[in-house]
Structure 1
Amino acid sequence: MAQHADTTVLVTGATGFIGRRLTPALVERGFRVRAMTRRPEEYDGPGDPVYGDASDPDSLAVALEGIQVAVYLVHSLDSGDFESRDAAAARAFGQAAKDADVRQIVYLGGLGADDGQLSPHLRSRRQVEGLLGEAGVPVTVLRAAIVVGHGGVSWELTRQLVKNLPAMVVPTWVRTRTQPIALDDVVRYLVGVIDEPRALGRVFEIGGPDQLTYLEMLQIAAEVRDGHRKPILQVPFLTPRLSSYWLALVTDVDVTTGRNLIDSMGTEVVVTEHSIREIVPGEPIGYAEAVRRALEEGRES
């Protein structure tokens, strides 16, 4: 614990899906934590709350003052112009971190091959990786596919589809392979690379042990939740745009967010290298167990 007592970590998006799990894990490991949020007066988690908004560069100097490591968990998926917004925010944050003498930025990005076939969502995540380090602060990137945990948008899509539909009417993109990862493992990997010299300036791919199609993910989630799989009807004419409206009808995920996520679901996103194991050893949690934990947390909340 004590080895991290001299390191203060800024967690952006501290009230978000990942951030609110990461801050207690960092405190438990002995880090000092500053929780950046747009509503610090409402923050009730561990660490010291501070106002900060990545889209407001003037607010970042105060948030980053005295910080050694900054964890960047910012994105604008619910916005139609998310690519330009995320680019501007990442560039401003990287410069502010440089001005504050931050020694490491840690960023949770997205899996996907650099072959020109990335969706706008994944392409934006890749662009942010570069812009965060543009001013010169070493960036550690963890690239992940779907994170399975209570409150995550991608998981909520899965959970609500399984819950709300007696049979699954699905588009053809459900045949695409992905490599989901449990929220607990994402937090474990984030904590493991923070203030770790061997992780500076490196990109790591992280995932669970299972490579699955989205269809298999839906069926396993149904089996864990209800004890049985569901009938499946594939509908080839459900385009990404039509799919996003369909999702808005059967889940509470808004059309813009759904469309941006669906655009990525035609891209195979699997782990192709395992160097993260050198820095953060340990076996990741399987998908079925990740689903069970997410459902249990949802019931408890």
Structure 2
Amino acid sequence: MDEHKPRVLLTGATGFVGGRLLPNLVSNGFQVRCLVRSASGFAGSLPPEIKAEPVEGDLLKPGTWEASLDGMDVAFYLVHSMGGRNFSEIKSFAERDQKAATHFLKAAEAAGLSRIIYLGGLGELGDSLSEHLASRQEVGRILQSGKVRTTILRAANIIGAGGAPFEMLRYMVERVPVMICPRWVDTPCQPIAISNVVDYLAGCLQQEDTAGLSFDIGGPDIISYRELMLIYARVRGLRRLVVTVPVLTPRLSAYWINLMTPVPAGVIMPLVEGLRNTVVCRENRIRDLVPARLVSMEEAVCTALAETEKGPGRLPSTQSCFRRL
């Protein structure tokens, strides 16, 4: 641990992105404090080599977590409520996200935090954004509206084992030989491997020139969701057919995906509604400030499969996966 480096508060440390960012920060010598719901449970889940200080609290409950900012220099804001466990909880997620962000900014200013780094979503507000993507944009606006210099990274679908976009993709392609999809299956997108997201998050922490700015982040491939599904099928050596129909609405699609996958229903709906929006990087300035080897979607899918421990698509190694290409 390097005492000369900024001290970091990591929110969302138990999540898909935060759980992967934590080992990166620790291995690079950062002193990390993690804001979690259960400090004892979190501490018990950490491998011995990951040294981090757990602090218990809930951003939606003022008075339970503000002390976690004491002595910290930089915070990663990676909390995101999505839509809950079922369809009935969907409508309240945007309100929860904005309330949590407002609480956090106020406390960060009071604590004298120097920087916030936030991971949001791609998409333009003028493009009839889904509620999910519009909420991500609004959270970013809230965090950048105060005195703390906030860096915003905006990503499309993040592909990695355990992430909702990948798990939806995995179960659908594995289980359905002929996939009936709405027209949005041909919407352009620029997905990004989880390893590249971690590269950029950690890189922004170490690159002071990123403070207070917003960046689009994406992988090297601009493809459609149809192409992404066929990439998965090709990596797995599966023959799959994707058929589009004009009458399948996002809500009907979400109900169907809910039947076919273990992804929580309340998470599926916001993701599916967002698929109708084009999510492609408008600029690539981040590549100059934080150089990283961009991972192709074939490699991202293969790596995610190699990391998967249970369920369809299990593979013993990345190397065995690439033999199928």
TM-score normalized with structure 2 length: 0.88
1:89 paired with 2:100, answer: yes
Q: Which residue of 1 aligns with 2:249?
A: 239
Deviation at 1:283, TM superposition (A): 2.9
- 1:163 and 1:228, CA in 2 relative to 1: closer, same or farther beyond 3 A? closer
CA deviations on 1:171-195 (whole Å, 9 max, x unpaired) are 2110101001000000000000015
Q: Which residue of 2 aligns with 1:16?
A: 15
Q: Of the candidates 202, 207, 214, which is equivalent to residue 203 of structure 1?
A: 214
Please tell me the root mean square deviation across aligned C-alpha atoms, in Å: 1.6
Query: Hey, what's the Cα distance between the residues in 2 that align with 1:206 and 1:92?
Result: 27
Query: Hey, what's the Cα distance between the residues in 2 that align with 1:10 and 1:112?
Result: 28
Deviation at 1:219, TM superposition (A): 0.6
Query: Hey, what's the Cα distance between the residues in 1 that align with 2:104 and 2:213?
Result: 19
Deviation at 1:253, TM superposition (A): 1.9
User: Do the aligned residues in 2 keep the contact of 1:57 with 1:96 (CA within 8 Å)?
Assistant: no
CA deviations on 1:4-62 (whole Å, 9 max, x unpaired) are 74321111010110011000000111111111110111113331111121111212321
Q: Which residue of 2 aligns with 1:168?
A: 179
1:151 paired with 2:162, answer: yes
TM-score normalized with structure 1 length: 0.95
Structure 2: which 5+ runs fail to align?
Answer: 85-89, 315-325
Q: Of the candidates 291, 301, 307, which is equivalent to residue 291 of structure 1?
A: 301
Q: Which residue of 2 aligns with 1:178?
A: 189
Query: Hey, what's the Cα distance between the residues in 2 that align with 1:127 and 1:197?
Result: 24
Query: Hey, what's the Cα distance between the residues in 1 that align with 2:272 and 2:307?
Result: 25
SS in 2 for 1:201: coil
Q: Of the candidates 218, 240, 247, which is equivalent to residue 229 of structure 2?
A: 218
User: Do the aligned residues in 2 keep the contact of 1:248 with 1:254 (CA within 8 Å)?
Assistant: yes
Deviation at 1:161, TM superposition (A): 0.4
Q: Of the candidates 111, 126, 143, which is equivalent to residue 115 of structure 1?
A: 126
User: Do the aligned residues in 2 keep the contact of 1:83 with 1:120 (CA within 8 Å)?
Assistant: yes
Structure 1: which 5+ runs fail to align?
Answer: none
Amino acid in structure 2 at the alignment position of 1:141: I
Q: Of the candidates 50, 54, 58, which is equivalent to residue 53 of structure 1?
A: 58
Query: Hey, what's the Cα distance between the residues in 2 that align with 1:93 and 1:196?
Result: 23
SS in 2 for 1:194: helix
Query: Hey, what's the Cα distance between the residues in 2 that align with 1:155 and 1:213?
Result: 15
Amino acid in structure 1 at the alignment position of 2:56: Y
User: Do the aligned residues in 2 keep the contact of 1:10 with 1:69 (CA within 8 Å)?
Assistant: yes
User: Do the aligned residues in 2 keep the contact of 1:161 with 1:250 (CA within 8 Å)?
Assistant: yes
Query: Hey, what's the Cα distance between the residues in 2 that align with 1:192 and 1:5?
Result: 17
Query: Hey, what's the Cα distance between the residues in 2 that align with 1:298 and 1:202?
Result: 35
Q: Which residue of 2 aligns with 1:28?
A: 27
SS in 2 for 1:108: strand
User: Do the aligned residues in 2 keep the contact of 1:9 with 1:69 (CA within 8 Å)?
Assistant: yes
User: Do the aligned residues in 2 keep the contact of 1:149 with 1:155 (CA within 8 Å)?
Assistant: yes
1:41 paired with 2:66, answer: no
Deviation at 1:279, TM superposition (A): 1.4
User: Do the aligned residues in 1 keep the contact of 2:177 with 2:239 (CA within 8 Å)?
Assistant: no
Q: Of the candidates 72, 75, 82, which is equivalent to residue 77 of structure 2?
A: 72
CA deviations on 1:207-260 (whole Å, 9 max, x unpaired) are 0000010010001011112x1440222232110111111011111123222111
Amino acid in structure 2 at the alignment position of 1:246: W
Query: Hey, what's the Cα distance between the residues in 2 that align with 1:251 and 1:263?
Result: 17
User: Do the aligned residues in 1 keep the contact of 2:83 with 2:269 (CA within 8 Å)?
Assistant: no
User: Do the aligned residues in 1 keep the contact of 2:35 with 2:65 (CA within 8 Å)?
Assistant: no
SS in 2 for 1:58: coil
Query: Hey, what's the Cα distance between the residues in 2 that align with 1:106 and 1:76?
Result: 17
Deviation at 1:133, TM superposition (A): 2.9
Query: Hey, what's the Cα distance between the residues in 2 that align with 1:21 and 1:232?
Result: 32
Name which of structure 1's ranges 228-237 and 251-260 shifts more when overlaid on structure 2. Answer: 228-237
Identity between Structure 1 and Structure 2 (%) = 42
Query: Hey, what's the Cα distance between the residues in 2 that align with 1:199 and 1:52?
Result: 29
User: Do the aligned residues in 1 keep the contact of 2:207 with 2:290 (CA within 8 Å)?
Assistant: no
Q: Which residue of 1 aligns with 2:322?
A: none
Give the paired residue count: 299
Query: Hey, what's the Cα distance between the residues in 2 that align with 1:231 and 1:277?
Result: 35
SS in 2 for 1:107: strand
Query: Hey, what's the Cα distance between the residues in 2 that align with 1:253 and 1:18?
Result: 17
Amino acid in structure 1 at the alignment position of 2:55: V
